Structure 1
């Protein structure tokens, strides 16, 4: 697409980074909406703590699928190679940042949220409460959650009171590597998939 339009390189790069970020948002929603994909994504949400390591905790199969989706989008979009490289650096850096347990001052957090996803903003997405897990899907730019109505400012129990993780995987054994890798194949998915909730208890 972008190869068919004569744009300055700086504008092409900005458009590419923004659209690739939008693709990551939609992909994340898809991994919550489809039962088969949610099985894979549960590994990321099974973490009972919330720190920078959570940002790298993804099932290998999910990582491969994510890579294939990105390849497909890049082929259709035709972004400059430097924009793809810059996007990957930003995305991975922001994933570490917004999964960290940094406590930003409230005023700074509030202002940063107008542009980027902060740790407090994304932490809501890791709540055990279903409708909170259905919010704040963004990793980098916060505009997508605001644009598509998935933004939630704060958890109902507050950040100190909210419970992280998944209801059915709270035993310590589920945090070991063999169990984490087997999560996609465990049990039935009846407790949580977007638009298939049985309740938030």
Structure 2
């Protein structure tokens, strides 16, 4: 089974498990509005997959195969042992994604793309695929550049991509964990409660907790917020703009970056 099939099987299995878990153990009290939100969110996800396949000649794993064939990149140049190179590549790619995420909140033109993700007025597993196609294409381009500069191995890149897509589902899940388990997991991983803070309607909260699956970067770079001012189970989610039904449709989200954000 190739890495694409493994990634798809992992994604679908995790999606089904988390959807069932959300139904049984929800954390946030707001209605998930699945019948209205899921076709839109997963519709965006499907468009993103098609854009990656049809518009880019390479994906990150393809870049890794090329780098290995040409002995291109820093890790090849320094002759780093394979196990150490894989670990370095994984951590470096995660730092790259963390940095990209922070810039998405700081640079207006990037925020216009990223706010499509933040205008979801509820949060559940489907939010993990709600991204504008241009953001997905840009993110893949950044990963390709990082992979080439590092000379990351195909195995390390494939593992990173599987973990990244899996944690996008996990961290957006409306899933209640015990406070002790949540606190323990946060020493290494981003938990649903930690990431839900990032989706608070309050600007001082959604400008924190940028990590996708490793929590270290937020602690290291001062963007970690352990708890929101409002209760986790009732705090308003999304943004103060684009909350109307007509602004939440698929077509509206695709053209949303062209609209003013303030």
The reply to whether TM is greater than 0.5 is: yes
**CA distance in structure 1 between the aligned counterparts of 2:79 and 2:259, rounded to whole angstroms:** 51
1:118 counterpart = 2:187 = no
Structure 1 ranges of 4+ moved more than 3 A: none
Q: What does 1:42-191 correspond to in 2, within 5 Å?
A: 42-187=115-260, 189-190=261-262
What does residue 27 of structure 1 align with? 100
Q: Matched residue of 1:158: which SS? A: coil
Q: Matched residue of 2:210: which SS? A: coil
In the alignment of these two chains, the number of paired residues is 189
**CA distance in structure 2 between the aligned counterparts of 1:144 and 1:182, rounded to whole angstroms:** 32
Q: CA RMSD in A?
A: 0.8
Higher radius of gyration, 1 or 2: 2
TM-superposed deviation, 1:186: 1.3
1:37 counterpart = 2:110 = yes
**CA distance in structure 1 between the aligned counterparts of 2:194 and 2:220, rounded to whole angstroms:** 15
What does residue 3 of structure 2 align with? none
TM-superposed deviation, 1:6: 2.6
**CA distance in structure 1 between the aligned counterparts of 2:227 and 2:246, rounded to whole angstroms:** 30
TM-score (norm 2): 0.71
**CA distance in structure 2 between the aligned counterparts of 1:63 and 1:27, rounded to whole angstroms:** 12
What does residue 29 of structure 2 align with? none
**CA distance in structure 1 between the aligned counterparts of 2:231 and 2:95, rounded to whole angstroms:** 28
Structure number with higher helix proportion? 2
TM-superposed deviation, 1:55: 0.7
Q: Matched residue of 2:84: which SS? A: helix
Deviation string 1:142-196 (CA, Å, 9 cap, x unpaired) is 0000000000011101112311001011111111101111110112x33xxxxxx
Q: Matched residue of 2:143: which SS? A: helix
> Which structure 2 residue ranges, 5 or more long, are not aligned?
1-73
**CA distance in structure 1 between the aligned counterparts of 2:231 and 2:97, rounded to whole angstroms:** 27
